[in-house]
Amino acid sequence: MIKLISRLSRLLAMLPLAALTTGLGQAESLPAALPEPVAAAIAAGDCEQLIALNKQYHAEPTAAEHAAVTAALEDAILALPACGNVSATLVRVEPLRGVDFFNPQSPLGSSSLGR
Amino acid sequence: MRRKIAALVAAGLLCAGAAQAQAPVDKAVVRQAVEQVLRAWNTPTLGHWLAADFAERDRLLAALSFDVPPTARLRVLSIGGIQLLEQERGDGVLRSLVSVTVRAQAEWEDQQQGFQRREGTAEYVLRIVREVPR
């Protein structure tokens, strides 16, 4: 029993390494057979090329490999930090010091002035 | 025994996969968003930058229209640490909730008292949505 626990604990210690070596720790894993230009764009992390290819494959939805390819392309696009259409909105403001400019009661602090 | 070990390894690998690293959020994008939001403060375009679920959104927009001098503007003095709070992946879309500490200053010219300024530091929580063009 002690031997088994010892073996299991050694095995558990190896898991992160196993995850790395199999690529599961990466942002995306590539499908087995991607078309060469797709694989090349993914390997290069070329944002413009990835977007162009994604549009191209979306325009040809009948292609047999379409789903796997577009999934791989979209994973690759979203794994790049600034690739794709970006939009931002302000959700909330937590004041820390001084005036809270987004406080509806007094956006300029106690000295809010009328117009 | 070997089969049990293999099952254990498979379960471990699944857990490792489930806990994949979150996609990075470009700090430049966050900084740019903060600059744009604060530049829009006290202007008619602020409404575009406030999320629909921003608390007391309409009251804030009204307060800015009535309680703040029309020429008052915010200037970013410093942008501090950026932290990823949440991330959610949808179909061709990545939604990230980030917080960023910003020190800013409101500045305006008062006809009687001359140049005025007020400083404030706050944690701004932004929703950054990245969509794959199709």
Instruction: Tell me whether strands B73-90 and A107-110 are parallel, antiparallel or unpaired.
Output: unpaired
Q: Mean of the pLDDT values across residues A89-105?
A: 97
Helical segments of chain A, H only: 2-21, 36-44, 47-59, 66-79
For residues B127 and A34, the model is more confident at B127
pLDDT value at residue A25:
40
Per-residue pLDDT band at B23 (split at 50, 70, 90): confident
* B63 contact residues in A (CB cutoff 8 A): 104-107, 112
* B43 contact residues in A (CB cutoff 8 A): none
Collect all residues with Cβ–Cβ distance below 8 Å to A114 and sequence separation of at least 6: B66, B67
pLDDT value at residue A33:
80
Q: What is the mean pLDDT of chain A?
A: 77
Q: State which residue of chain B sits closest to A24, comparing Cα positions.
A: B17
- Does A24 have pLDDT greater than 80? no
The answer to whether the CB atoms of B120 and A87 lie below 8 A apart is: no
The answer to whether the CB atoms of A79 and B23 lie below 8 A apart is: yes
Q: Would you say B117 and B107 are in contact if contact means Cβ atoms under 8 Å apart? A: yes
Residues A31-71: tens digit of each pLDDT: 568 889 999 999 999 999 999 999 998 887 666 678 889 99
Per-residue pLDDT band at A12 (split at 50, 70, 90): very low
Residues B37-81: tens digit of each pLDDT: 999 999 999 999 999 999 999 999 999 999 999 999 999 999 999
Between the alpha carbon of residue A59 and those of residues A49, A100, B2, the distances in Å are 15, 48, 48
* B42 contact residues in A (CB cutoff 8 A): 107
The answer to whether the CB atoms of A27 and B110 lie below 8 A apart is: no
Per-residue pLDDT band at B5 (split at 50, 70, 90): very low
pLDDT value at residue B7:
43
Joined together, the tokens standing for residue B23 give 């996609």
Joined together, the tokens standing for residue A15 give 């898991």
Per-residue pLDDT band at A23 (split at 50, 70, 90): very low
Collect all residues with Cβ–Cβ distance below 8 Å to A74 and sequence separation of at least 6: A54, B92, B132
Q: What is the mean pLDDT of chain B?
A: 87
pLDDT value at residue B112:
92
- Does B18 have pLDDT greater than 70? no
- Residue B91: closest CA among A38, A27, A67: A67
Picking from B74, B89, B126, the nearest residue to A91 by CB comes out as: B126
pLDDT value at residue B33:
96
pLDDT value at residue A19:
40
Q: Which H or E run contains B4?
A: helix B2-18
Question: Percent of chain A, pLDDT > 90?
Answer: 50
Q: Is the ipTM of this complex over 0.90?
A: no
Separation between Cα atoms, residue B6 and residue B12, nearest integer Å: 10
Helix (H, G, I), strand (E, B) or coil at B70: coil
Instruction: Provide the shortest C-alpha distance from residue A97 to chain B (in Å).
Output: 5
* A27 contact residues in B (CB cutoff 8 A): 20-21, 23
